[in-house]
Structures are given as structure tokens and as C-alpha cells.
A and B are shown apart, each in its own frame.
Chain A
Amino acid sequence: EDQVTQSPEALRLQEGESSSLNCSYTVSGLRGLFWYRQDPGKGPEFLFTLYSAGEEKEKERLKATLTKKESFLHITAPKPEDSATYLCAVEAYGQNFVFGPGTRLSVLP
């Protein structure tokens, strides 16, 4: 059965304090791994798709990386506006997305 776990469950950072979020997955035939950001009271918003081990994608202060078992979302010098819940999802061939429970990030000024 396809499974996605995320750690930590919650993370508090000071503004400017870099860190990483982890997404570990077990899936047969990975087609893609997706990162989403969700603000309170809103639906998830797409950030990145990664397709193969070794691939990296960047957007502003965020960088996502992928290995055969996990993905990291690195946050460099975060700002308070980066506070949100970050969701990871995997898609196997012929299957629908399987989401992780998310990491709730708080960046304090």
C-alpha cells in the first residue's frame, strides 16, 4: 500500500533560521512527488513536482529535492509569510495522489 509520512509534525523557526522538512514515501512505480502549501482557511496551493531521484526545484526561499525514498523541502532564511502547512503527495502510475499529513511551519519575527 502506498504510504506517505512527513516530519516533523510542527516546526517553529525564527525569521532567518534555515531548516528542512521531510517527506518519506513508499510507492510502487513513482510517477511524481508533489509539494503543496496550505494557508489556514484555504485549499492547498501547488509548489513543485519532482519526477526522478536527484532532481531539484527552487522557488524563492524554497528548494525541493528528491531521492528514491524521500523528499526534502529546504527553507532558506524564512520569513513570517512562509508560515503555513506544507503537504507532500505522491502519485504512482495508474493511481491517484496519496497525501501526507503535512508539516505545520511557524516562522516567528
Chain B
Amino acid sequence: ETGVTQTPRHLVMGMTNKKSLKCEQHLGHNAMYWYKQSAKKPLELMFVYSLEERVENNSVPSRFSPECPNSSHLFLHLHTLQPEDSALYLCASSQDPTRGLSNEKLFFGSGTQLSVL
């Protein structure tokens, strides 16, 4: 399998549930990202990992918790979400040779469409 794979594709959860989104990249990249895409809004960067270390956290609420166990895998753990968190969550990877100073183009997965009831 090649590219960036995200699971699940769709997720419906209640506000009290705990769930995790998974992302796997088969491109040999060293940087991985979580983005949130809401209707008619630009992609919002949530988290960046470069060489398995979190580089940036854009003031995301603590109910979102990322985990990057190695350069190929990225998780987003969800708990006590709000209805406004319903969105498409996209994972991406890139080659980041200078660790945060420049980025190569992003390769995206197909996303997880999350609905919070």
C-alpha cells in the first residue's frame, strides 16, 4: 500500500465517548500533520510532528491529544468532544529536511469525517 492511509473513514461519536483516529504513511517522510477542515473554512493546522517530536501545537483544545510513536504512524485521540468539533480530519505527511524551517509539499490522506452528536 502506498501514500497516506487514514482510518476510520467515518466516525460518529457521542460527547462522552473516547475514540482514536489513525494515520499511516508509506512515503518515507519524516513529518506528519493533523489538519481540521470545516465547511467553507480554510484548513486549520492542529499538530505537527517532525522526526517524531511535536513541533507545533496551534492552541488546540486538550480534548484532542496527538500521538506519534514513529515516523510512519500518527494518532489523534478524542475525548469529550463538542458538536462544533464535527469536521473532516485530515492527516498529511511531508519531507521536512530542515526541521521546521521549510516544508516540502504535503501528501494528504482521505480524511476521517467525524460527527459528534
Query: Are A96 and B108 interface neighbours, CB within 8 A?
Result: no
Cβ proximity bits A97-109 to B, threshold 8 Å, 1 near / 0 not: 1111110000000
- Chain A interface: which of B62-70, B74-82, B95-103? B95-103
SS of B interface (majority) = loop
Known A-B contacts A34-B105, A43-B92, A46-B105; A99 and B4 likewise in contact (beta carbons under 8 Å): no
Does B48 count as interface, using CB distance less than 8 angstroms? yes
Query: Are B111 and A43 interface neighbours, CB within 8 A?
Result: yes
Cβ proximity bits A24-48 to B, threshold 8 Å, 1 near / 0 not: 0000000100101000011111100
Query: Are A42 and B43 interface neighbours, CB within 8 A?
Result: no
Known A-B contacts A31-B102, A96-B48; A43 and B42 likewise in contact (beta carbons under 8 Å): no
Task: Give the chain B neighbours of A36 by CB distance below 8 A.
Answer: 106, 108
Measured CB to CB, the residues of A under 8 A from B are 4, 9, 31, 34, 36, 41-46, 49, 87, 89, 91, 93-94, 96-102
